[in-house]
Amino acid sequence: MAVVPAPERTIPQTREPARASAPARALERLGLQRDLDLALHLPLRYEDETRLVRIADARDGDALQVEGVVTDARVEFRPRRQLVARIDDGSGTLVLRFVNFYPSHQKTLARGVRVRARGDVRAGFFGREMVHPVFKAVETGAPLSNALTPVYPTVAQLPQAYLRKAIASALQRAPLHELLPAGAVPAGLPSLRDALQRLHHPPPDASLAALHDHSDPAWQRLKFEELLAQQLSQHQARRERAHLAAPPLQPRRGGVHERLAVALPFALTAAQQRVAAEVAADLALPKPMHRLLQGDVGSGKTVVAALSAAIAIDAGWQCALMAPTEILAEQHFRKLVQWLTPLGIGMAWLSGSRKGRARAQMIERVASGEAALVIGTHAVIQDDVHFARLGLAIVDEQHRFGVQQRLALRRKLGEQAGGRAAAPLEPHLLMMSATPIPRTLAMSYFADLDVSTIDELPPGRQPVLTKLFGDDRREQVVARIADEVARGRQVYWVCPLIEESQKLDLQNATETHRQLCDALPGAMVGLLHGRMPAAEKAAVMSLFTGGQMQVLVSTTVIEVGVDVPNASLMVIEHAERFGLAQLHQLRGRVGRGAQASVCVLLYSAPLSPTAKERLRAIVDTHDGFEIARRDLEIRGPGEFMGARQSGDALLRFADLADDAPLLARARTVAAQLLDSEPAAARAQVERWLGGKAEFLKA
C-alpha cells in the first residue's frame, strides 16, 4: 500500500544510486544489521488492513480501511491548494483530502478507479473525510491482507515500507531454530520463530490488547528467552568467580577504619551501618567480593565507599575509586583527602586531563604502592597504570560507564591477579549506583551480584519542593534566586545539552549566564559546560563548592553525584527535554543540607503528552524506586531504542516489575541448563548477548 507522500513504487528501488544507501545507513545507525537484529525490531503498533468497513458504517474518529470508486477528483485552490477526491462504495461517499500531493496521486485517483484508503475518519465541511489517507488502486475483489500490518519505530531517513520489507525478509533468514530442550520453556508458549512471526504479522483474530500489554504468549516467549540468556550469563559468571581467590581484608585495631569512623562529621544511618557491615563481611573472605551498593541520590553511598577503602588500606592493600566524570572524581578526591590525609593515607589522583610529568609521577606513586588510595576517572584503569597491590576497586555511578570501560576494568582486575603467578589474587569489586530497582528483584536479577541497598536518607533532610513554571515566568524565578542568594544560599541553573545542537545549547547557557549576571549584580555567577578545558571546569566548580560563587549556570555536566549541601534552589530550564531519571538525578543536587530546598522546572509549551506525564511524575514523587517504575511505564516501547543506546535499559523486552514470575522461572531453568546442557546454554547466551555477555558480568 502506498505511503503518502511518496507512492510505494519509488521506495526504495527507484531511488538514485547515490541516495539508495540512506535507508541502509539508517538501519546501521539503529543497530539493525544482522538478520536477528531486524527480526527483534518489534512493531510499535499495528494497522488493520485485514477488513473493509462500509463507508456508511464509518464513524468519526475511527481509524479504518474503506474501498470505493473515485467519482470525482480535482485540485482546489481555496483555502489553499489541495487535492480532493470523492469515493463511493455503494453505501455512502467519503472525501480523501491531500494538502501535500504529487502528480502520482492525481494519476492514481482518477475518476472510475477503484481505491482502498486507510486513515482516520473525521467530519469535514462536505461530509466525512480522510486527510492524507494511505491508499492504493485495486481490482475488484483484490484479496485483503491476512495479517495485521506492523508499524515500526523508525527515523526519518528510513521509510516504514523499506523497513517492513527488510524485516520481513530478515525474519525468513534469521537463525531462530530452537535451542532449548523440551521442558525448559514454560508450557503453552510458542517457539521463538513462531513467536516472532506472530509479533511481526499477527493474525486478524489476535488480541491487540494482549499484544500491546505484552501478555500475548508470543511476547511471553520473547521475554523468557531474554531473561534466560541474562540469567545464564550471570550464573556462568558466578561459577567462574567461585574459582578465584582474593586477599581477605580486615580492619586493624586502632587503624584507619576505626579512626575514620570516629572522625566522620555525622553518625551513620542504620542503613549505612547495615550495608557497611555487609561489605566488610565480604572483604574479610578469601574470594573476590562482587557487590552492588544501590541507594537513592543523596542516601550517602560515598562514606560507605570510604569506610570500605579504609579496610583495604588497613590490611595493607591499595584501593582504586573510579567515577564516570572528572568533576565527580575530583569531588570524591577532595572529600576523601579531607577525611583521610589527616590519618596519614597516601593518595593519588588520575584523570584524562592530567598528562605528561604529573601523570608519570602519579603512576609511579601507584606502582610503588606509596598511594594507598587512587581516585580518578577511567584513567585509573588505563594500560600504563599498574598497581603494586590492588585489593579493592570501587566504581561509583557504575551504570554511567560505557561497555568499553567496563571491559577495561575487568581486564585490569584480571591482570592484577595474573601479575602474581604464584598465588593469583583478584581484587574485590564494589559497584555503586543510584539507579535503583527494588531489592528483592535486584537480588534475583543480578544472579552474579550481591546487592546492598541503602533504603533511608540521612536524618533532617527535607523533601525538595518541586514546582512547574512556564518559561514566561522566568523573571519571577530570577527574583527568587535573588532572595535565595540574599539568604546566603547557593543556586544551580541547569540548561539542557543535546548532542545535535551543542552549539545552540551553548549559546543558550551563555545567554542565561549573561542574563543572570545582569540581574544579580552583587552575586558571583559562574558558567560550566562540557566543552570547557578541565582546569577551567575545576576552577569554577571549586569556587562553587567553596561557597564563594553563589549561582552556577551549567549544562548537565553537574548531573551525577555533585554534592554542595548549601545549594537550596535548582532551576532546570527546558525541563521537558530531560528524561525522568535525569531530572531525578539533577533534583538530587539540592536538598542535601538541612534547609528546605526548591526545584523549579521551567518548560516551554506546547508539551507532548509524554513530556507532560514525565513532569507530572517528577512533581508528584521523590522516591527513586517509584520514579524508576514510572519511567518505564511512560517510556513504553516507543523510546526503547534511545534507552538501549544509552545503556540505561537493563532489559529490552522483559520488564522486571511485571515479569517477576518469568524471571523466577528463568533463574531455575538457567541453573539446570548449565549442568545438564552446557552447549545449549552457551548457544542461548551467544544468540542473545553475543559480545555483550562479557560486559554484563561487570
Q: How far is the CB of 266 from ligand ADP (least distance, A)?
A: 4
Q: How far is the CB of 395 from ligand ADP (least distance, A)?
A: 13
Q: How far is the CB of 551 from ligand ADP (least distance, A)?
A: 20
- Taking CB atoms within 8 Å and a gap of at least 24, the contacts of 84-87 are 85/109, 87/55, 87/115, 87/117
**Three cell numbers written together for 210:** 494482549
Give start and end residues of each alpha helix (H) in 289-402: 301-314, 326-340, 356-368
Q: How far is the CB of 257 from ligand ADP (least distance, A)?
A: 17
Which residue in this structure is represented by grid cell 503498533?
Answer: 45
Number of residues that bind Mg ion (CB under 5 A): 1
Q: How far is the CB of 328 from Mg ion (least distance, A)?
A: 7
DSSP states of 165-187 as a string? HHHHHHHHHS-----SPTTTSPT
The bridge status of strand 114-124 relative to strand 63-76 is antiparallel
Give start and end residues of each alpha helix (H) in 589-698: 609-620, 624-635, 640-646, 660-676, 678-689, 692-697
When CB distances are held under 5 to 8 angstroms depending on the partner's kind, the choice from ligand ADP, Mg ion, none that residue 303 binds is ligand ADP
561 scored as a contact of Mg ion (CB under 5 A): yes
When CB distances are held under 5 to 8 angstroms depending on the partner's kind, the choice from Mg ion, ligand ADP, none that residue 236 binds is none
Stretch that binds Mg ion, among 129-137, 308-316, 339-347, 560-568 (CB under 5 A): 560-568
Stretch that binds Mg ion, among 174-182, 341-349, 558-566, 671-679 (CB under 5 A): 558-566
Closer to Mg ion by CB, 247 or 561: give it. Answer: 561
Q: How far is the CB of 269 from ligand ADP (least distance, A)?
A: 5
User: Closest residue to ligand ADP, Cβ-based?
Assistant: 300
Closer to ligand ADP by CB, 73 or 451: give it. Answer: 451
When CB distances are held under 5 to 8 angstroms depending on the partner's kind, the choice from Mg ion, ligand ADP, none that residue 12 binds is none
Q: How far apart are CA 663 and CA 59, in angstroms?
A: 44
User: Closest residue to Mg ion, Cβ-based?
Assistant: 561
Closer to ligand ADP by CB, 47 or 559: give it. Answer: 559
Inter-residue contact 100 to 5 (CB < 8 Å): yes
Neighbours of 119 (CB within 10 A): 22
Closer to Mg ion by CB, 336 or 696: give it. Answer: 336
Closer to Mg ion by CB, 374 or 395: give it. Answer: 395
Q: x/- site string to Mg ion, residues 502 to 541, per CB under 5 A?
A: ----------------------------------------
Q: How far apart are CA 357 and CA 360, in angstroms?
A: 5
Return the DSSP state at 400: G
Binding site for ligand ADP (CB under 6 A): 266-269, 272, 295, 297-303, 434, 458, 561, 563, 565, 592
In the beta sheet, which residues pair with residue 294? Answer: 433, 453
When CB distances are held under 5 to 8 angstroms depending on the partner's kind, the choice from ligand ADP, Mg ion, none that residue 565 binds is ligand ADP
Closer to ligand ADP by CB, 88 or 258: give it. Answer: 258
Q: What angle do CA 39, 41, 44 make, to 5 degrees?
A: 135
* Contacting residues for 251 by C-beta, under 8 A, at least 6 apart: 257, 258, 280, 310, 311, 314, 315
- 3-class secondary structure per residue, 256-314: HHHHHHHHCCCCCCHHHHHHHHHHHHHHCCCCCCEEEEEECCCCCHHHHHHHHHHHHHH
* Contacting residues for 119 by C-beta, under 8 A, at least 6 apart: 63, 130, 131, 132, 133, 134
Q: How far is the CB of 479 from Mg ion (least distance, A)?
A: 32
Q: How far is the CB of 457 from ligand ADP (least distance, A)?
A: 8
Closer to ligand ADP by CB, 432 or 495: give it. Answer: 432
When CB distances are held under 5 to 8 angstroms depending on the partner's kind, the choice from ligand ADP, Mg ion, none that residue 508 binds is none
Q: How far is the CB of 661 from ligand ADP (least distance, A)?
A: 32
Closer to ligand ADP by CB, 133 or 561: give it. Answer: 561
When CB distances are held under 5 to 8 angstroms depending on the partner's kind, the choice from Mg ion, ligand ADP, none that residue 138 binds is none
**Three cell numbers written together for 360:** 608519570
Closer to Mg ion by CB, 159 or 561: give it. Answer: 561
Closer to ligand ADP by CB, 592 or 630: give it. Answer: 592
Q: How far apart are CA 492 and CA 552, in angstroms?
A: 5
Q: How far is the CB of 534 from ligand ADP (least distance, A)?
A: 21
Closer to ligand ADP by CB, 23 or 295: give it. Answer: 295
Closer to Mg ion by CB, 391 or 561: give it. Answer: 561
DSSP states of 3-47 as a string? BTTB-GGGTTTTS-HHHHHHHHHHHHHTT--SHHHHHT---SEEE
**Three cell numbers written together for 314:** 588497613
When CB distances are held under 5 to 8 angstroms depending on the partner's kind, the choice from Mg ion, ligand ADP, none that residue 490 binds is none
Greatest C-alpha distance within the chain: 97
Q: Is the peptide bond before 12 cis (omega within 30 degrees of 0)?
A: yes
Secondary structure tally for the chain: helices H, strands E = 24, 21
Closer to Mg ion by CB, 86 or 378: give it. Answer: 378
Inter-residue contact 122 to 60 (CB < 8 Å): yes
Q: How far is the CB of 153 from Mg ion (least distance, A)?
A: 34
When CB distances are held under 5 to 8 angstroms depending on the partner's kind, the choice from ligand ADP, Mg ion, none that residue 481 binds is none
Stretch that binds Mg ion, among 9-17, 287-295, 510-518, 556-564 (CB under 5 A): 556-564
Q: How far is the CB of 559 from ligand ADP (least distance, A)?
A: 12
Q: How far is the CB of 82 from Mg ion (least distance, A)?
A: 58
Which residues within the stretch 349-408 sit at the binding site for Mg ion (CB under 5 A)?
Answer: none
DSSP SS3 for 66: strand
When CB distances are held under 5 to 8 angstroms depending on the partner's kind, the choice from ligand ADP, Mg ion, none that residue 607 binds is none
Binding residues for Mg ion, rule: CB under 5 A, are 561
